Structure 1
Amino acid sequence: MATTTKQRLALAICDFLSTSLTDGTLSAEDKDSIDVAINCIGESFKVDPTDPAAVSAATGTQNLLQIYGVYEKLKSTTTASAAKPASNTAGTSEKAKEPTDDEKARAEDLKARGNRAMASKDYPAAIDLYTQALALHPRNAIYLSNRAAAYSAARDHASARADAEQAVSIDPKYTKAWSRLGLARFALGDAKGSMEAYRQGIEHEGNGGSEAMKKGFETAKRRVDELEGETADAAPTARGGGGGGGGPDLASLASLFGGGGGGGNRDGASGGGGGGLPDLSSIMSNPMFASMAQNLMSNPDMMQNLMSNPRLREMADRFSSGGGMPDLGSLMNDPNIADMARNMMGGGGGGADDGSNPGAGRGAGR
């Protein structure tokens, strides 16, 4: 009979393992391994897992899985209730918890050790040390900002954002916290929020802001502009249609190559007239034609000019009705078509992404 807490826990574990074989948690292939584990636990803790009375006395009315489920619920409730005062507590309640001089000194020592851990790139240790400092001196903007920097370095950007937001709510004039908030928001894909954080940092720094803060702001702003440009470019393309500055008329493009007049099949297949459709996969494997197609699809005006040229419309009509491919040499004698061809070949790509990220330094604060 189990007489100690550890023996009762060992029996509860054995009961959990046995139940897992019968409730579908584990497969029959695992039975031999589980049986060996149960025997080893029983022998090690000097208990008998096959004794129903002993197991019942150890587990009571709830088995180990049920007990652990209760623990998880209690843990989540405790964590949630503990988090609320950390983010919302203010005023007299905080004054009542003002740390003593000894606690402040110990917190400063922990912060200094955290800074050294950051310098050594031991980010988990730095996070733990800053957390200990905050336990002694809660709502310290510097400690929160430093922990935000450590979280960012460890790529836990959500935690970094939470710490930085709390730091700036405590001390808006501590500008390093604004910088770390900008970095965390940018890493989480919130470019507008990042830009706002850097703007606040520049405002609180005064004199136009530091170079690092301004660089972070410009990087975030550039990303916002890129996203807005992508949205603007995508809208007319999604609408389709030709006039009014809209995107390329893909149905007309399909008909130019002999496709059906109803806009072409979504899988790219098209039934040409007599003479057959050109092998588009072979054409597009040619770098010259691939470049032409890319430039054409990225320039709605060029597409509209192309589709409104009567020579090309004539070519499309003749080809789709079985008249065969046109005399391209004769076609290129048309100066308008020749000019459009040169424009398609010239193309003008946008600048490459410089890959820069905003943020003024990861290092710990003061």
Structure 2
Amino acid sequence: MAAATSKQRLALAICDFLSSSLTDGTLSADDKDSIDVAINCIAESFKVDPADKTAVNAAIGSQNLMQIYGVYEKLKSTTAAKSSASSSSTSSKLPTDEEKARAEDLKAQGNKAMTSKDYANAIELYSQALSLYPGNAIFLSNRAAAYSAARDHESARADAEAAVTADPKYTKGWSRLGLARFALGDARGSMEAYRQGIEYEGSGGSDAMKKGFETAKRRVEEVEAEERDSGNPLSRGASANVNVNPGAGASSGGMPDLSSLAGMFGGNGGGNGGMPDLSSIMNNPMFANMAQSLMSNPEMMQNLMSNPRLREMADRFSQGGGMPDMSALMNDPNIAEMARNMMGGGGRGGPPGSGGQQ
């Protein structure tokens, strides 16, 4: 069974606190039904079992939630006094050399646990190291790596963010922050973390950091492309009308119905229709305009020939596979966009929806 996440452990601690409140006299018997409902809701939502004593003990350790909160209240009450303390007083509270040495030993044990893929033990060992040396960027970064390996990406992100705050120059923290954000679906945040890491590394960054940045960047570009395509009428199967008889041109409906161009290639939409009647095609003013656009715009021709769908069509045709299904081909938004440009979109005929080529 996968190790419990930080939030699951907290959920178990809350359930334990609620149960204890019924038995220690904090709540009356009349409250039992309401508390039972609350415990069941928490358990179901966080996928934990409050009846599992082993899991509860692992979650709360030697102190229950009430005891932990009591410590927090004491710390809170002394915050103002601590914030106004002298720098000498502050330095006296730094870990001793003995505590640092013990923390380093715990970190080394955590590293061995990571090598053995014992991620739960590694997290515990890094946590012990941090209890002796709080805010250590290396310990936080290492625990972030352990959380990522255990697929607790939210905890990994929190530790990585704390690590880069504590020491922005410790670049592994940026790398682990980039990984955690990417795993959580935040590709832009991931790209930014890797970018920061590259800046702090200097000299253009390490290969690993640059690879992480490029991976996140590609994902951002994919998301942006999906967002653009979702707003493209052709990508949603929308169409307009056109008369594709030679000499007829487009109707007043705007963009032509590109799927009906299949009839010009072999008469039945491709496949087994054989070679098209090229003379008939070029007598059509619409296709003549397309050919003229291609010949006068080398970049458009290059883009056309680099389209993988068109290259696949050409290969299949050259191998005797017959003409392709033009109706399916023209559903490709990239090919539809090129066709729109060649047939007057953005040129003399205006953009789609402005009347089109007449």
Q: Max radius of gyration: which structure?
A: 1
TM-score by length of 2: 0.49
